[in-house]
Structure 1
Amino acid sequence: MNRRQVTPVVMLAVTLVAGACGKSSTSGPKVPTSVGKGEGQLNLIAWLGYTEDGSTDPKSDWVHPFEKQTGCQVHVKYGNTSDEMVTLMRQGGGSVYDGVSASGDATNRLIAHGDVAAVNVNLVPGYKQFVPTLQSPPHNTVNGVHYGVSYMYGANELMYNTNSVTPAPTSWSTVFDPSSPYAGKLTAYDSPIYIADAALYLKTHQPSLGIKDPYELTSAQLDAATALLKAQKPNVKKYWSAAADEIDLFTSGDLVAGTAWPYQVSILQADHQPVAAGIPSEGATGWADTWMISSHAKHPNCMYKWMQWASTPQVQVQVAEFYGATPSNTASCSILTAGIGAAAAAPYHCGDEAFVHQLYLWKTPLAQCGNGQSNCMDYSVWEQKWTEVKG
């Protein structure tokens, strides 16, 4: 995956989108200089919980107000994994969907393949209020060119049943120790990127492996992470990709511990289920999501209007309260605290730059290691290893 090699493809695609919105005369990829009237429709790919219209909870609706304000009718296809989202974005030559809420393990693949267009962040007022780290992060900004605007971020937490798992777990050994007392009632995320969670655990418990970054693994390091996951497999009742599957099995009592997003925790706690979650001593992987516009979007103005809307502190606070994720827009923080109280807002770490750096955010594994070496295993190898784990 060489991002620089595909720049001409991206430039051509972006020129077409810019023509619909107003062209820029600057050098490099052309981006809109203004946003015109909405085309009346917007087709999105999103994570569940990111585009609520009140159907799940009448109090959680930031889609209908957007439709009323812009005239853009929103249609959403939910994706369960980043791999699925990448595939969906390429349907119909990339013209089926206008945009996607992509995580860091998908964004650079979409950029490199020319699936997404460069974005003029100056047309998104909320951008200037983002946490500095998420204004131009490497997962959505390449060579100074923005290919989207940050949305929400958070950790892949260890969720557990507070009645069954005591005392409260402080280590990922709860799920990775072959002799875990919760064998047969554990769960894990069904994606090759979950290998990074195993690598992060080994970073602490097998320091001799020399793992520095759980996404930059040599062949030996990847083999060690794969072996840990194979040893874990007999204890796993369910590998989940759909959040609803994990929610259902925690509700029924069939699962008592495993990796989860804040969304599942939020839904289960709202249903008064005995669950809690946290970040164990080894740390946690995480995700920072980006709204990206298709290079072949049929409704580019509506997509820009959506990025503007989704970047406002008012909308991000609603997402935070419903989903449990942390807003990128720091102006959301005071609103969030005022709405739910300081104690309830504390776990969000809103506006906390150090917390963002603490997480090992999803990114696409490449052959090029961050230390200048090129002996790391790329994502295609990770996919092969995950197939081995799942059998």
Structure 2
Amino acid sequence: MRRIGSALAAAALALVTACGGGAPTTTTAPAPGQSGFVPPPLQPQRALGTGEGQVNLVAWAGYVEDGSNDPKVDWVTPFEQETGCQVNTKVAGTSDEMVTLMRTGQYDAVSASGDASLRLIAAGTVAPVNTSLIPNYTDVFDGLKSKPWNSVNGVPYGVPHGRGANLLMWRTDTVKPAPDSWSVVFDPDSPYKGRITAYDSPIYIADAALYLMATKPDLGIKSPYALDDKQFQAAVDLLKQQKQLVGEYWSDYTKEIQAFKSGDSVVGTTWQVIVNVAKSEKAPVEAVLPKEGATGWSDTWMVAAKAANPNCAYRWLDWIISPTANAQVAEYFGEAPSNAKACEETADPNHCETFHATDEEYFSKIHYWTTPIAQCLDGRTDVTCKDYAEWTRAWTEIKG
């Protein structure tokens, strides 16, 4: 359902000014925002026009369901009937693939995670959005608005889709006592050597950095996405050490479920949707938010700066965060919705409680995926941090 496939080689973060391709531009570039770069001088759409008849989307699997996978799961057909915009979807397996696809100029909107959104903003691939053209934006949780991965200088570059945490899952018949720390997957003396699993992506370096934040405070890590040379090397060294413990790296959620069902994997990083499906298939698993906290995601629907069908794209953004559709996708995928009113629309009345939708204290422990850039995202100006291109090179080296 999500992040299926192997990661593509990531291009270096392009901190360049790009033309808007039809979008009105300002005469001077904005000042650097909290994300640490000067975004291209693009302006959002000023008014909503007649729909173009179609919209081309890049999305995570499970985000744009039209009943073809499950006849009971369909929030696309009502959208098409109401707006006259035919939805064409390209499912991407990784954030790197999303960035590559959006750079082709063939797509109107994308459900970007935080490890892709800044790259898309900085390269001028996506434009700011005019939230006054998106009525349902009003009801989005404040905890998801104007964040470093979806805005610059308070200017929004999309609408939040939902959010979730990267949890620790284990087989209850094998891993005892029940773990409450990431140490079970990083300790070189872990008794589960060869049956530990880890997420297959350069952004997983942040998971190691997060663990080091708690266990090696002398490193001074304040954000797992803002790592100077020493901090970065410590995280890389930890992951090289962990590689001796890992039986399998995963990006296909179905493969992780199968590995836990068979017992080939007994402990590792996961998503709540994987826990839910694994349990439904009788795997003896549980999951926890470890005491160190966790990384996680908050995906953002963004509009291409050169969108051929911007009016239908804006209609899609409003639709997917509407209470009913947002409830459907959040429940189907297994995440917290972004629209507060969606909690009243879920089939399971306990869905928002299960996924901590209104629990900002819970989400305060989540370090959302954010694209690492050279200007340290933790505010430091006296050092240079490792950017995503360097994370990608290091990940290739870690896996060998």
The aligned residue for residue 326 of structure 1 is 336
Corresponding residue SS for 2:208: helix
User: Which residue of the other structure, out of 219, 224, 228, is the alignment partner of 2:229?
Assistant: 219
Question: In terms of mean alpha carbon deviation, does 300-309 or 142-151 score higher?
Answer: 142-151
Q: How does 1:93-172 map to 2 (within 5 A)?
A: 94=105, 96-172=106-182
Partner of 2:285: 275
- What is the CA-CA distance between 1:323 and the residue it aligns to? 1.4
Report the counterpart of residue 355 of structure 2 in structure 1. 348
Report the counterpart of residue 399 of structure 2 in structure 1. 390
Alignment of 1:374-389 (within 5 A): 374-389=383-398
Residue 246 of structure 1 and its aligned partner are, at CA, apart by: 1.7
Report the equivalent of 1:20: none
Given that residues 336 and 352 in structure 2 are in contact (C-alpha distance below 8 angstroms), is that contact kept between their aligned partners in structure 1? no
Q: Matched residue of 2:206: which SS? A: helix
Q: Secondary structure at the match of 2:57?
A: strand
Of 363, 367, 371, the residue aligned with 1:364 is 371
Q: 1:37 aligns with which of 21, 27, 50?
A: 50
Could you tell me whether the CA contact under 8 Å between 2:20 and 2:306 is conserved in 1? Answer: no
3-state SS in 2 of match to 1:15? coil
Matched residue type, 2:95 = S
Deviations 1:58-97 (A, max 9, x none): 3322122222222222222222221111111112xx2x11
Structure 2 CA distance for aligned equivalents of residues 252 and 13 of structure 1: 53
Matching of residue 14 in structure 1 with residue 23 in structure 2: yes
Matching residue of 2:95 = 82
Distance 1:301 1:55, change over 3 A: same
Partner of 1:55: 68
Distance 1:132 1:220 in 2: 35
Name the CA shift for 1:272/1:67 in 2 (closer, same or farther; >3 Å): farther
SS in 2 for 1:331: helix
**Alpha-carbon contact 1:333-1:351 (below 8 Å) kept:** no
CA contact 2:14–2:123 (8 Å) conserved in 1: no
Equivalent pair of 2:374/2:385 in contact (CA under 8 Å)? yes
Once the two structures are TM-superposed, the CA of residue 121 in structure 1 deviates from its matched residue by 0.8
- The 8 Å contact of residues 309 and 315 in structure 1, kept in 2 or not, is answered as yes
Question: Where does the alignment leave 5 or more consecutive residues of structure 1 unmatched?
Answer: 17-27
Moved more, 153-162 or 224-233: 153-162
Letter in 2 for 1:250: F
3-state SS in 1 of match to 2:318: helix
User: CA deviation digits over 1:115-143, x for unaligned, max 9?
Assistant: 01221111111111111132221212112
Matched, 1:240 2:250: yes
State whether residues 10 and 118 of structure 1, in contact with CA within 8 Å, keep that contact through their aligned partners in structure 2: no
Instruction: Say if 1:151 and 1:288, in contact at 8 Å, map to a contact too.
Output: yes
Give the aligned length: 371
Distance in 1 separating the partners of 2:127 and 2:254: 32
Q: RMSD of the TM alignment (CA)? A: 2.0
Q: State TM-score, norm by structure 2.
A: 0.87
d(CA) in 2 for partners of 1:31, 1:210: 39
State the alpha-carbon separation in 1 of the partners of residues 262 and 88 from structure 2: 32
Structure with the largest fraction of helix: 1
Listed as ranges, the gaps of 5+ residues in structure 2 are 1-12, 26-40
- Distance verdict in 2 for CA 1:381–1:15, change over 3 Å: same
Structure 1 consecutive aligned stretches of length 4 or more whose deviation exceeds 6 Å? none
Query: Residue 178 in 1 paired to residue 188 in 2?
Result: yes
For 1:371, the aligned partner's letter is G
In 2, Cα distance between the equivalents of 1:346 and 1:362? 23
Q: CA deviation at 1:40?
A: 2.3
Once the two structures are superposed, residues 181-223 of structure 1 have per-residue CA deviations (whole angstroms, 9 ceiling, x without a partner) of 2211121111111000001111111122121111111111111
Query: How far apart, in 2, do the equivalents of 1:358 and 1:274 lie?
Result: 26
Q: Distance in 2 between matches of 1:274 and 1:203?
A: 31
1:258 aligns with 2:268: yes
Q: Hey, what's the Cα distance between the residues in 1 that align with 2:250 and 2:112?
A: 19
Q: Tell whether the 8 Å contact from 1:162 to 1:275 is kept in structure 2 after alignment.
A: yes
User: Once the 2 structures are TM-superposed, how far is the Cα of residue 312 of structure 1 from its aligned partner?
Assistant: 0.7
Is residue 80–residue 243 contact of structure 1 (8 Å, CA) maintained in 2? no
Greater alpha carbon shift after TM alignment, 67-76 vs 204-213: 67-76
* Separation of aligned partners in 1, 2:59 and 2:362: 24
Alpha-carbon distance between aligned partners in 2 of 1:212 and 1:30, rounded to the nearest angstrom? 33
Which of residues 207, 210, 215 in structure 2 aligns to 1:200? 210
Among 266, 289, 293, which residue is 2:299 paired with?
289
What CA distance in whole angstroms lies between the structure 2 residues aligned with 1:61 and 1:161?
33
Write the mapping of 1:302-313 to structure 2, written as runs, cut at 5 A: 302-313=312-323
